[in-house]
A and B are shown apart, each in its own frame.
Chain A
Amino acid sequence: MVIAAVLSGIGVLGLVLVLTGGNSVRDFIKDKYKFVGTERVEGAGKDSLLYASDKPPSQTAADIADARKPADRRVTESGVFLRYQDDVVSVVPQSEGSRVIVDDEEGGYRRNYLFVGGFWGTFSGRGQSFRGGGPGSGK
């Protein structure tokens, strides 16, 4: 009886901790990087949150992706873009280290349209042969 209660109790406790613990990528970034301000992207539901990292973009993006696995990512000449359920995280270079920008889905898409346009949504620009996919979509 005691063993059964302990097993189930640990399971319930673990479930509660997992479901209520700060799991979002927003929480992780808020805890790990220095907040430097906000920005407004037209069409976005929320303001963009800006943070500073003292590491270069690829390392910063790797730290974030290791801690909170993204559903999709794009690596470009100008930065790394991570896509989550409701958020888009942009890690772009700045004079020292990198800037981490957290947007909601629509804000992130619009901000980074030149980089993720067509990959994570619709794209009216040239060429849609590859573009138009998203997580789980293949060739």
Chain B
Amino acid sequence: MRLGLSALIALVLLIAVASPPTAAAGVLVDREDEVDLAQTLADAQEAQGVCYGWDIAVNGVPGDRGSSLDGSGVPLAVDRCPKGYAILRAEVFYVCETCDGEDSASVTVDSNLAKPPTAQDLEQLGFSATDLVGEKDDQAVIDMTGALPLLVAEKGNAPYVAYEAATDVPAEDKATNTPGSDLLRDRWPVLILCLLLIVAGPAYLLYKRSQQIPTY
């Protein structure tokens, strides 16, 4: 009995060690949001004919991936994309909390289109690879991938995916978390400089007075 149990534990350990390390799907993005993203890309593919996908490796292991063809969790099968494809590829490296160094990431766009979207195009839209190791890494994946159909159209590879305003919004749904002051966000360095200058006047006066030699 004891021998059988030991053999079973050994077998489980052996399988665990021998299996290639695979990250669970949705390391950065939740499964539900990956499904939404894949559906969005599928709609874009229907409008443009171009296939889309995302493929993100985390510490060298396949992590988040999906496509307009096969949904979330499956990398894009480019051989099934006669009109071309564009895939957001990224590598994310997390360092352990006690290790030296910082988390890092790199991003490329893999495409066979005549005028492919590039990582520089994503930068122009306000994204950088470091967003993938930031607090909103999930939204970065969703937005960078979601931007591909827009960029593909802008470069003349395909028509735009038409913008449609919502017409039937549930009354209970509202905008929340109103952002802070635009003025402070935009001009805080100038405001601080002005305040420092205002304070600098009296400070200078006090300094000069303290330097004066008292006369009796």
Q: Contact residues of A with B, CB < 8 Å? A: 1, 3-12, 14-15, 18-19, 23-25, 41, 43, 56-59, 61-62, 65, 68-69, 71-80, 83-86, 90, 92-93, 105-106, 108-114, 117, 119-124, 126-127, 129-139
Bound-state CA distance A71–B201 (Å) is 34
Query: Would you call B109 an interface residue if the criterion is a C-beta within 8 Å of the partner chain's C-beta atoms?
Result: no
* Smallest beta-carbon distance A96→chain B, Å: 11
Contact assessment for B182 and A135 in the assembled complex, using a CB-CB cutoff below 8 Å:
no
Tell me whether A7 and B204 are in contact (CB under 8 A). Answer: yes
Indicate whether B2 reaches chain A with its CB closer than 8 angstroms.
no
Binding site for A on B (CB under 8 A): 29-33, 35-36, 40-41, 43-44, 121, 124-127, 135-139, 142-144, 146-151, 153-154, 160-166, 169-183, 185-187, 190-191, 193-202, 204-205, 208
Residue of A nearest to B117 (CB): A58
With A4-B202, A83-B179, A121-B176 as known contacts, state yes or no: A138 contacts B151, CB within 8 Å. Answer: no
User: Can you list 23 residue pairs at the A/B interface with Cβ under 8 Å?
Assistant: A1-B205, A4-B202, A4-B204, A15-B194, A18-B183, A58-B150, A59-B124, A62-B124, A75-B127, A75-B150, A78-B163, A85-B180, A85-B181, A93-B150, A121-B173, A129-B31, A129-B33, A130-B139, A131-B33, A135-B180, A137-B177, A138-B136, A139-B135
A3 touching B174, Cβ below 8 Å:
no
In the bound complex, CA of A62 to CA of B127 (Å): 11
Q: Decide if the interface of chain B is mainly helix, strand, loop or mixed.
A: helix
A110 contacts B169, C-beta separation under 8 Å: yes
Q: Residue B153 contacts which of A86, A93, A106 (CB distance < 8 angstroms)?
A: A93
By the criterion CB–CB under 8 Å, are A3 and B204 in contact? yes
Minimum C-beta distance from B200 to chain A (A): 5
Q: Which residues of B contact A117 (CB under 8 A)?
A: 166, 169, 173
Cβ-defined contact, A84 with B182, below 8 A: yes
Question: What are the residues of chain A within 8 A of B194 when measuring CB–CB?
Answer: 11-12, 14-15, 18
Majority SS of interface residues in chain A? mixed
CA distance in complex: A129, B165 (Å): 24
Contacting pair B195 A15 (CB below 8 A): yes
7 nearest A-B pairs in the assembled complex, by CB-CB distance: A134-B177, A8-B201, A11-B197, A71-B179, A11-B198, A113-B166, A138-B135
